[in-house]
Amino acid sequence: MEEYKKTLEDHKLSHSSLNLLDYSPSFYREHILNPKDEDTSYFRKGSAVDCLLTEPTEFDKRYVLCTVESPGGMMGEFVKIYLHNINRDDIDEDTKRKAAYVASGFKIKYESVIKKFEVPEIQEYVKFTLENKDKTLLSREEMTQTINMVNMLQKCVITEEYFKADNDLRETENQLKFEMPWKTKSGKEYTIRGMLDKVIINHKDKTIQAVDLKTTGKPVYSFPNSYIKYAYYRQAAIYQYYIKSLFRKMITRKNNELKDYEVLPFKFIVAETACNNKPLVFEVSEEDLEIGLNGGFSKSTGKRIKGFAELIEEVEWHQETGEWEIKKEVIDNNGVITLNELKNDNKKN
């Protein structure tokens, strides 16, 4: 079967890609044409917590404790690029090293960099990485923080109920991947994809609870700021729309029809990497879900924000016009952006 290749005219949508379009159409275009995997400590720990909580039997297959110290700085970038090209058969070893040298930004001579690269400590890390190439490497600190967060989430009175084992009256869908059709006003069809961390189905109360896990390096009480900054309200709206429109109509493994089940408000469960504060549960209001879907004004910023339905319409506009260097609203306003950033709430006497 021929491998599916994304193009600007044919690709699937997601919460993160629509956020990117809202930020910059040109960044969105680059994301579609040249996608890059996010590989930061933040994403590694978040994914590891998700896996250990929802798919514990898979954890050792996907993650490994890195027992050797990883190089930092430019050498760390050199090694990363070198390892990225290690399995390429179209280039020889010297070319792989030179490509890493150029891309990593070293100013010293190539020979000096290679001498540093060939020291036993670096080569030990390269060997360890290659031996575990199918797994994500976690540092000792990352592994410790992952385990601490999982333990706290499972034992905290606020969050423990979301991680209980299933029984005859309760079942859970973990890491539920989905693809949801969406039709624009003109009739063009798109596919939105996503993955829900947990969907808890209570057959006694006849309820469905969708949950997304978030980890943060900041205090959990600052999550509302991240909620706005990263447009998690749009993510919640997409997930809740899927649960209500498609998932609820499905038949579960126990042959119970879900179409009459009540869909509870969407929830984010947030844990700190440092575990200084207990994890918290944040419930998304119906008003926020509506704005995440169709757009509206933010109480916190006083500005209008776009819902995912509007952004999909903009994807269609960019595809039809071929314009990826500028936002649609700028074109609609003849290239002028009005600055109205300073609010004055002081009333004159």
Q: What is the pLDDT of residue 258?
A: 81
**pLDDT tens track for 85-118:** 998 888 999 999 999 999 999 999 999 999 999 9
Instruction: Give residue 266's pLDDT band: very low, low, confident or very high (50, 70, 90).
Output: very high
Q: What is the DSSP letter of 56?
A: G
Work out the number of other CB atoms within 10 angstroms of the CB of residue 22.
Answer: 19
**Residue, of 175 and 4, whose pLDDT is higher:** 175
> Measured between alpha carbons, how far is 66 from 159 in angstroms, rounded to an integer?
30
CB 282 within 8 A of CB 212: no
Q: What is the DSSP annotation of 310-331?
A: HHHHHHHHHHHH---SS-HHHH
Flag whether the pTM goes above 0.75: yes
Q: What are phi and psi of 310, to 5 degrees?
A: -65, -40
Q: What is the pLDDT of residue 249?
A: 72
Q: What are phi and psi of 167, to 5 degrees?
A: -150, -170
Q: What is the pLDDT of residue 348?
A: 54
Identify the weakest region by mean pLDDT among 191-200, 218-227, 297-306. Answer: 297-306
What is the set of domains in the chain, with CATH numbers? Answer: 15-34+165-331 (3.90.320), 41-145 (no CATH)
Instruction: Give residue 1's pLDDT band: very low, low, confident or very high (50, 70, 90).
Output: very low
Q: What is the pLDDT of residue 254?
A: 53
Instruction: Identify residue 200 by its one-letter amino acid code.
Output: I
Q: What are phi and psi of 101, to 5 degrees?
A: -60, -45
Residues of the chain with pLDDT > 90, as a percent, come to 79
Radius of gyration of the chain (CA): 24
Residue with tokens 């193009």: 7
Average pLDDT, the chain: 91
Task: Return all residues near 205 (Cβ < 8 A) that are at least 6 apart.
Answer: 262
Work out the number of other CB atoms within 10 angstroms of the CB of residue 241.
Answer: 19
Average pLDDT of the segment spanning 60-78: 93
Instruction: Give residue 323's pLDDT band: very low, low, confident or very high (50, 70, 90).
Output: very high
Q: What is the pLDDT of residue 47?
A: 92
**Residue, of 342 and 314, whose pLDDT is higher:** 314
**pLDDT tens track for 165-220:** 999 899 999 999 999 999 999 999 999 999 999 999 999 999 999 999 999 999 99
> Measured between alpha carbons, how far is 317 from 315 in angstroms, rounded to an integer?
5
> Measured between alpha carbons, how far is 295 from 308 in angstroms, rounded to an integer?
8
Residues of the chain with pLDDT > 70, as a percent, come to 94
**pLDDT tens track for 17-27:** 999 999 999 99
> Measured between alpha carbons, how far is 192 from 312 in angstroms, rounded to an integer?
10
Average pLDDT of the segment spanning 288-294: 96
Q: What is the pLDDT of residue 267?
A: 98
Distance, C-alpha 278 to centroid of its chain: 23
Q: What is the pLDDT of residue 144?
A: 95
Q: What is the pLDDT of residue 34?
A: 87
CB 310 within 8 A of CB 294: yes
Q: What is the pLDDT of residue 299?
A: 85
Give the helix ranges, DSSP H, for 86-168.
93-104, 110-117, 120-131, 140-155
200 three-class SS: strand
Q: What is the pLDDT of residue 2?
A: 44
> Measured between alpha carbons, how far is 278 from 291 in angstroms, rounded to an integer?
29
Identify the weakest region by mean pLDDT among 178-187, 293-302, 317-326. Answer: 293-302
Torsion of CA 314, 318, 323, 325, to 10 degrees: 50
CB 292 within 8 A of CB 308: yes
